[in-house]
């Protein structure tokens, strides 16, 4: 998928500002719909314009970001209500899907980013948003880009079993950008979400 890499930090900070929780506690999340409203109203900026830095809170904002974002606004966003719809969006429309999932501690150390089946002993610790960027019917997995850095999973990417889309998914959305949007040749998509849980920050999903 030839999708652009955008700054999750910009979305997160503008989302916190819109919800009235900035700067406050860095672990406070924002709702996925807030991120989409930022993308529609303000726009998004390239990842290199404001990279994530976990050592800096509140982060130091580079100048001119809102002007840059204004040329990269979402045309629309809408709900994705099933695994089938998700696959259609990825394969035919060729745009990523923002998905929010109930997660357990197993997510943090998932081998090669492969999310294991939940067991009865796994405690739900929060909701987490990731960007779904592809799928494989042979392995029955959705590929997603996470927001925990390149040291997590498969160089920052993970793989979610199809059945977990329905059993642990709380909501999913697709968005489309203006045709003038910048692109990268890497085939990776931007992380639109991080997590609000007991151990990770910042986030695009609140604990339900």
pLDDT in single tens digits along all 208 residues of the chain: 444 567 889 999 999 999 999 999 988 888 889 999 999 999 999 989 998 887 889 999 999 999 999 999 988 899 999 999 999 999 998 888 999 999 999 999 999 999 998 765 578 888 999 999 999 999 999 999 888 878 999 999 999 999 999 999 999 999 887 644 443 322 223 333 344 433 343 344 443 3
Q: What are phi and psi of 189, to 5 degrees?
A: -115, 160
- Kindly list the structural domains of the chain, giving each domain's residue range(s) and its CATH number in brackets, ordered by start: 1-72 (no CATH), 74-178 (3.90.70.10)
Task: Give the span between the Cα atoms of 82 and 78, in whole angstroms.
Answer: 13
Q: What are phi and psi of 113, to 5 degrees?
A: 80, 10
For residue 132, the SS3 value is strand
Looking at residue 202, its pLDDT comes to 38
Task: Give the span between the Cα atoms of 192 and 7, in whole angstroms.
Answer: 8
Which residue carries 């997660």 as its tokens? 103
H or E element in which residue 136 lies: strand 126-136
Looking at residue 110, its pLDDT comes to 94
Looking at residue 5, its pLDDT comes to 67
Which residue carries 């990279």 as its tokens? 51
**79, exposed or middle or buried, with CB in 10 Å at 0-12, 13-18, 19+?**
exposed
Instruction: Dihedral sign for Cα 27, 164, 100, 158, please.
Output: positive
pTM of the complete model: 0.76
C-alpha distances in angstroms, 194 versus 49, 87, 147, 199?
18, 22, 5, 12
Looking at residue 148, its pLDDT comes to 84
Looking at residue 133, its pLDDT comes to 93
């Amino acid at each position: 998928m030839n999708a652009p890499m955008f700054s999750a930090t910009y979305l997160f900070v503008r989302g916190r500002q819109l919800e009235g929780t900035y700067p406050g506690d860095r672990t406070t999340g924002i709702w996925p719909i807030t991120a989409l409203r930022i993308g529609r109203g303000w726009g998004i900026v390239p990842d290199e314009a404001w990279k994530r830095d976990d050592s800096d809170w509140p982060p130091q904002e580079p100048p001119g970001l809102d002007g840059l974002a204004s040329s990269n606004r979402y045309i629309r966003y809408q709900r994705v209500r099933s695994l089938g719809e998700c696959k259609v969006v990825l394969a035919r429309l060729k745009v990523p899907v923002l998905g929010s999932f109930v997660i357990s501690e197993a997510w943090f150390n998932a081998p090669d980013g492969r999310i294991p089946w939940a067991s009865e002993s796994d405690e739900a610790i929060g909701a987490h948003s990731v960007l779904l960027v592809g799928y494989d019917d042979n392995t029955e997995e959705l590929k997603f880009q996470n927001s925990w850095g390149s040291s997590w999973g498969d160089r920052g990417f993970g793989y979610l079993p199809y059945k977990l889309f329905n059993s642990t998914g709380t909501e999913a959305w697709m968005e489309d950008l203006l045709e003038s949007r910048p692109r990268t040749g890497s085939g990776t998509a931007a992380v639109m979400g991080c997590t609000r849980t007991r151990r990770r920050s910042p986030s695009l999903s609140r604990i339900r």
